[in-house]
Amino acid sequence: MRKLVLAALYTAFVLGANPAAAVDLTPLLTGEMEKLVPGAEPKLLPDAVLTKGDGTETSLAEYKGKWMVLNFWATWCAPCRREMPSLDRLQTLMPEIAVVPVAAGRNDPERIDKFYAEAGVKVLPVLRDPKSQLARPMGVLGLPVTVIVDPEGREVARLIGGAEWDSPEAQVVLKALMAD
């Protein structure tokens, strides 16, 4: 009996200390969100220098304190072309979240501008990771990859492949993560 009580207390402590584990997303993972994989343990994102559209440098520290939908993409990526407008709409629908697209690898700034114009992207920032200083240590091997990041700057879930991020299913999952 004592072991059972200790196990219950330990579980309660772990779930209370780990926001990602405290939410059981399983019943919410429907449609394209079935591909979302919650992390067993939140992982702190690596530090990396990113390049803004105007050529100045920044980092993800700019978004610390907010939930983030961090999307790795490229101008040559066909699934990214289909997905990017939904990320743009998500930013408008859920302004409390930072939707952060990062063009991984070599992506010409002019091609990014052309890509945004053709895809109808109006509100998302232009960020590049030309040397994959962020993508490589995060294990981004293919594109697109979207990582859900908590306000402390830790990865709590990951989706490999494209998705409609402004869909009702995606919004329910994001709201559930943020509510806990």
CATH code at 42? 3.40.30.10
Flag whether pLDDT at 1 surpasses 80: no
Question: pLDDT tens across 25-54, in order?
Answer: 999 999 999 999 999 899 999 999 999 999
In angstroms, the CA 54 to CA 97 distance is 23
In angstroms, the CA 111 to CA 81 distance is 12
How many structural domains does the chain have?
1
Q: Which domain holds residue 108?
A: 2-179
Predicted confidence at residue 71, as pLDDT, reads: 98
47-71 average pLDDT score? 96
One-letter amino acid at 63 equals Y
Q: How confident is the model at residue 11 (pLDDT cuts 50, 70, 90)?
A: very low
Predicted confidence at residue 24, as pLDDT, reads: 87
Burial of 7 by CB count in 10 Å (0-12 exposed, 13-18 middle, 19+ buried)? exposed
DSSP state at residue 121: -
Q: Which residue has the tokens 């999952």?
A: 173
Cis peptide before 151 (omega within 30 of 0): no
